[in-house]
Structure 1
Amino acid sequence: MKRLLIVAHAPSENTRRLRDAASRGASHPDVEGVETLTKAPLDATPDDILACDAILLGTTENLGYMSGALKDFFDRSYYPVLEAQRGLPCALYIRAGRDGTGTRRAVEGIVTGLGWKWAQAPLTLRGEWQDDFEALVEELALTLAAGLEAGIL
């Protein structure tokens, strides 16, 4: 059984809906060979990363940057996982009130330093809330889990 770790910052009702959509997509009944673990960034540990086969990150855009909680997660995890998880497949969704460019750039820099590989391009959900944001995140997570199960990641 492979393990997909979802680390998602969800400080509001809408971001909780996105986190839940990610969990739903990753746990789709058609994907039987992947176990999903969903955690808030402040609760996730380096051991969670070491035990996973892929990771999906979710963050808000905060002052043109990732959430402080996700940054804290990276700060606590960077060196403990640096060598052990090179090549880890990853994906990202950003809930951006503006354009999300700074947030994406910051996460991409850390992912590059960790040597993780993008399974899919980061998904940026821009502007006012749209109901299809949930479906987009659910599809992102389902695709990541299905790719992991199929062994193509």
Structure 2
Amino acid sequence: MSAKTMLIVAHAPSPNTQRLADAVADGARDDAIEGVDVRLLTPFEAGPDDVMAADGIVLGTTENLGYMSGALKDFFDRTYYAVLEDRQGLPYALYVRAGHDGTGTCRAVETITTGLRWNAVREPLVCRGDWQDDFLGQCRELGTLMAAGLEAGVF
């Protein structure tokens, strides 16, 4: 059986948001999970070929003025039509580093992923308010969930 590919596309403009992206990747690379290759890219590095090669994707963004980061929006702008027909049903998860409530950010991403016909594997993880070290554990769990689901064929 060939390995599955889990793509993480995360905007990480600060050391703490980079820690969140790394935590998702660390969770996905848990020793108990085999057969899943994990790729962590910025939205500017990731493109249609990366999405086409992915069996599942985790999207990470900051909340910017009640919306997703411009970087993640750029990723969607560059990939949307190139993957629209061939990647329907792609399992995905979303995490948001939100200074406020993250509602607009989640709504914006969900609007695009609905158009792509991607399938959310869980409710968005919103890391709200002031920094908490517990955000790292939550992101690690998200990465583990996605990778384990891919490995087991659940997603």
> Under TM normalisation by the shorter chain, which class is it?
over 0.9
Percent identical among aligned pairs is: 61
Match of 2:110 in 1: 108
Name the aligned partner's letter for residue 104 of structure 1: C
Cα root mean square deviation, aligned = 0.4
User: Aligned residue pairs: how many?
Assistant: 153
CA distance in 1, matches of 2:31, 2:8: 17
Would you identify which runs of 4 or more consecutive aligned residues in structure 1 move more than 6 Å? none
Match in the other structure for 1:8: 10
**Which among 109, 120, 132 is matched to residue 134 of structure 2?**
132
The within-5 A match list for 1:1-153 is 1-153=3-155
What displacement does 1:120 show?
1.1
Distance in 2 (alpha carbons) for counterparts of 1:42 and 1:56: 15
TM-score (normalizing by structure 1): 0.99
Q: Secondary structure at the match of 2:37?
A: strand
- Aligned letter for 2:98? A
CA–CA distance in structure 2, aligned partners of residues 112 and 88 of structure 1: 11
